[in-house]
Amino acid sequence: MSRAKKSPKKLTPSEQYKLNHREEMLRKHRQTIYLNDREMAAISAYCSRFQVKHKSVLLRDAILSRVLETLGENPPTLF
């Protein structure tokens, strides 16, 4: 008695896009930073004042905002 293999479900273009987008947005690269006591106290105070639940979200947003702002001000030159 052999069992027939089920063929994989055919994804709609919308489902395929969502799957690819999810894989593309997966965070795979870990970065570690060290903070002194005053820096950590400032971040902790900010998080408690503004109900930030995850410091990683705050730090990621702050870093990427600064990077993108700087890149926008200083576009790469061709020559």
Positions in the chain short of pLDDT 70: 1-8, 79
Domain count, the chain: 1
Q: What is the DSSP string of 24-76?
A: HH-----------HHHHHHHHHHHHHTT-S-HHHHHHHHHHHHHHHHHHHSPP
Is residue 3 domain-resident?
Answer: no
52 within 8 A of 46, measured Cβ to Cβ: yes
Is residue 33 domain-resident?
Answer: yes
Domain with 42, as residue range(s), is 13-73
